Amino acid sequence: MTTKVSMKISKLDSRHTGNQWFTHRVSFEGHLQGRINSLSKSREWLWTTFGPSREVGSIGFMDPTARPVWAWETNYSYFRIYLTGQALTQFLLIKEQFES
């Protein structure tokens, strides 16, 4: 059984969740176990690199001056990371670590 995972990077617009805070979304696609592992690894790296965050659906309830540069989404079997332009640039430099 393969757990190969690929990433799809999408630019956000008004149709997308989180577009008012983030510029891009990274979706993990492939086998369930691989998506879980890739999301976990990327969240650990983002947390260490940029500090804590939370689910994208709760970002709007935060103090605007304390909003993080990244968030995640796991609702409805989604495995997604939301990033600002600054965070995306650094994430793309090491994205191969998160594709299994």
Give residue-wise pLDDT tens across range 46-67.
999 999 999 999 998 988 888 9
The tokens describing 42, both together, are 């990327």
Tens digit of pLDDT for each residue in 58-91? 998 988 888 999 999 988 788 999 999 999 999 9
Domain count, the chain: 1
Please state the pTM of the whole predicted model.
0.91
Mean pLDDT in the chain? Answer: 91
Confidence class for position 21, pLDDT limits 50, 70, 90: very high
- 35 φψ region: left (φ > 0), alpha (ψ -120 to 50), beta (else): alpha
Maximum Cα interatomic distance, the chain, rounded to a whole number of Å? 45
What residues contact 41, with CB distance under 8 A and at least 6 apart? 97, 98
State the residue range of the domain holding 58: 5-98
Helix (H) or strand (E) holding 92: helix 85-93
Helix (H) or strand (E) holding 47: helix 32-50
CA angle 51–71–5, rounded 5-degree value: 110
